[in-house]
Amino acid sequence: MPAHLNNLRPDFTKRKISCGSIPAYQFSATLADELSAKHITKREAVELLEDMLIVREFEEMIVKLRSGAYPSCAGFEYRGPTHVSIGQEACSVGGCTGIAADDYITSTHRGHGDSVAKGCVAIRKMDAATLRARLPGATGTTAEIYEAALEDHIFRTAAELFGKEEGYCKGRGGSMHIADFSVGHLGANAIVGGGVPIATGAAWACRYLRNGRVAVSFAGDGAYSNGVVLESLNWAAQYQFTNLLAKDHRFGLPMIFVIQNNHYGMTGRADNEVAGVEFLARRAAGFDDHNMHAEVVNGMDVLAVREAMQRAAALCREGRGPCLLELSTYRYYGHSLSDPRNEYRTKDEESAWKDVDPIKQFSEAVIAANVLTRKGVEALTAKVEARNARAAARASKAMDPSTDDVLKHLYSDLTSAVVPAEFQKVEIVKEKPVITRTNGQLTYKDALKEALLEEMLRDNRVVVYGEDVAEYGGAFKVTKGLLEAFGRERVFNTPISEAAICSTAVGSAMLGLRPVIELMYMDFSLMSGDAIGNQAAKWHYMSGAKAEIAMVIRASVGGGKGYGGQHSQTLESIFAHIPGLYVVYPATPRDAKGMLKTAIRDNNPILFVESQLLYMTKGEVPEDPEFTIPFGLAEVKREGKDISFIVWGPALHDALKAADELAKDGVQAEVVDLRSLVPLDMQTVLRSVRKTGKVVVGSQCVTTGSFMGEIIANIQHDAFDALDAPIQRVGARDTIAPQSSVLEAAFLPTVKDFVAAARAIL
Ligand SMILES: Cc1ncc(C[n+]2csc(CCOP(=O)(O)OP(=O)(O)O)c2C)c(N)n1
């Protein structure tokens, strides 16, 4: 039994389960109170007001731009999204001032405010040297450089919204995906809830790295009905994180879930309509025995938000995370500017919320506490308006990206060729797994394990997690023994939450870790479609190459075992269709080791497909820990001159057997193993096609719509003249994998199918 778990006994004692209570709206201090208690300085109070004004003015700019009424950008047409957060400024500014400048946030489609606030707060806390590095060539007094840095921040934010090369993400991300990794902003997210597991992964990375930082996910009320958000709450609260390391000291994830509850999804309301709780903060009680330190806070009061965030961040730093804060707020405009709001709410309701406007209230508080005079507030407002206008005008005239660069930043060119010294020191907790060669050979499974072992020994940033990968070693034992070698910090079981497994890996990769995660069956990758396709694949590009997403998703294909429709699919074609991912599928033990090591060292997100049919196959595998196989290199596994089999995955072995069969008739078949679909090595394929003139393309994918069609399209385009016959395709039949073994045999491609396809054109 794992040492950290107790002996499980039946216990049906009659009892009541208490869910405790969650405090709501406890903060009642005025600014004057806070000043006299020295919880805030006058200067900080002015900065709070200024930052809220910057956010509001920025959002007003979007509204005016849409109607052509923003004179500073006359003639400029803004064509991006218009999810403005006017009304919610206290959440963004209070939220970002309550945490440290180098803490992390993720945000949402309505994230301009969070983005602007995070940058302003971070800039104010930068020392002069950091500021000068941020603004090379800036001159003047320190105060002038701070001013210039704020203006530059607004400029880069606006430039990103306007799709310009000088935007934070070089115009690749835009309004709904803006990120600034230099200030810990890990990205807004256009997928409702999408940023929450990313922040959770970042929080896990903070804990792993012991960097003392906190990760915050800002997300709306709507997001808190989304599956991956609920998975994140569960993920962050796991006992193994909160209680494991020391019995009397929690060491929970430094994660703050912030619900910016503006009371509407797009139009649907959580309270009274699409959820069953009055306060979404109750979600915390569903996942954590301690309710995660949840609070409901007046989100129209910047001091209340700031104070609650400070408390939550302090708890996180003490190891008492995660925390959850529900901020009750309101957006004055519709979901976007095309939403007139009249179908689902009243003017009366809107005006009640405007009465407690965060900027109006805090301006009065600043005046009442003698921090600024009314004139002083007006002057501050005018300064903000002028600064924002200058920045926006400059952004509207900034350079567009070059159209030649449309593919630039799709993939990272970086690898972990050099492991930083601090990550080279690796501790063996108990013992390393022994991997034995029999007659110089390893199984495919052990080749994978050897790759993992070597890479984990080489680089402390490599972590392994997935369902049942720890003591049990994974459903197919690939990771067996790694827990004993590296301990539970680096090898741990996860909840059955494929979406969170993949999305948290994105978040931890953003902080520089190199997660290798396991999906027990490739079929389950469909549970993590967003994480893989919208998050992992896209963040390097959408961030303008500011984010490196070095992660490997090992997905095991179960076809051929009689496991039926939901455990047998070969789905790499779906993922090869999504730009931004690498998709590789080794078919021999040697390739398995060499390519997994390459995958772990590469800085791109990699879908690494394995076949359960191949796990026990044996072959020679180099022992050299520096042995790697580059991606995008197909290999001729058998030379021939009469016909080419272009294959990948287990189909390689069928094609090789078919080649033996054809050899009996004197036909010399060449067998090309693609090994990686993305990047794809068409040169080796075309060389073979030009030699033989006859082609059979094969894989275990369901035939229609598979990547086989892509290969065929390329061949006919680039080597049409070399073809002597129509290209043949050998894939699985266009149906669902059946349970019955006779039916499954009829479903999957066979050696006979390869032979028949070849004979048809020979
Ligand atoms: C996964 C997903 N589903 C639906 C949408 C379309 N959509 C965009 S914003 C939105 C409402 C989100 O509500 P909430 O999370 O409360 O944030 P708010 O817009 O109120 O800030 C919807 C349904 C989406 N972008 N992503």
Question: Is the pTM value of this prediction over 0.85?
Answer: yes
Residue nearest to atom 9 of ligand 1 (CA): 266
pLDDT in tens, 244-295: 555 555 689 999 999 999 999 999 999 889 999 999 999 999 999 889 999 9
Q: Answer whether 191 contacts ligand 1 (Cβ < 6 A).
A: yes
Q: Please, are residues 164 and 399 in contact by the beta-carbon 8 Å criterion?
A: yes
pLDDT in tens, 123-141: 999 998 899 889 988 888 9
Q: Answer whether 264 contacts ligand 1 (Cβ < 6 A).
A: yes
482, 513, 697 from 446: Cα distances, Å: 12, 24, 29
Instruction: Tell me whether residue 498 is one of the annotated catalytic residues.
Output: yes
Q: Answer whether 585 contacts ligand 1 (Cβ < 6 A).
A: no
Distance, CA of 182 to CA of 178 (rounded, Å): 12
Catalytic residue among 59, 498, 518, 744: 498
Question: Is the pLDDT assigned to residue 17 strictly greater than 80?
Answer: yes
Average pLDDT over residues 655-668: 98
Q: What is the torsional sign of CA 97, 102, 107, 112?
A: positive
Q: Answer whether 109 contacts ligand 1 (Cβ < 6 A).
A: yes
Determine the distance separating the centroid of ligand 1 and the alpha carbon of 495, expressed in angstroms. Answer: 26
Q: What is the pLDDT of residue 558?
A: 94
Instruction: Tell me whether residue 567 is one of the annotated catalytic residues.
Output: yes
Q: In ligand 1, which atom is closest to the CA atom of 224?
A: 15
Catalytic residue among 112, 153, 409, 567: 567
Q: What is the pLDDT of residue 110?
A: 98
Determine the distance separating the centroid of ligand 1 and the alpha carbon of 222, expressed in angstroms. Answer: 6
Residue from 86, 91, 266, 273 whose mutation best tests the ligand 1 pocket (most atoms within 8 A of CB): 266
Confidence of residue 200 (pLDDT cuts 50, 70, 90): very high
Cis peptide before 401 (omega within 30 of 0): no
pLDDT in tens, 236-258: 999 998 865 555 556 899 999 99
Residue from 192, 198, 217, 262 whose mutation best tests the ligand 1 pocket (most atoms within 8 A of CB): 192
Distance, CA of 465 to CA of 452 (rounded, Å): 12
- In the structure, how many helices (H) and strands (E) does the chain have? 26, 19
Q: Please, are residues 579 and 410 in contact by the beta-carbon 8 Å criterion?
A: yes
Q: In ligand 1, which atom is closest to the CA atom of 85?
A: 21
pLDDT in tens, 568-597: 999 999 999 999 999 999 999 999 999 999
pLDDT in tens, 89-109: 999 999 999 999 999 999 999
CA proximity to 470, closest of 486, 458, 448, 456? 486
Residue 702, judged by CB atoms within 10 A of its CB (0-12, 13-18, 19+), counts as buried
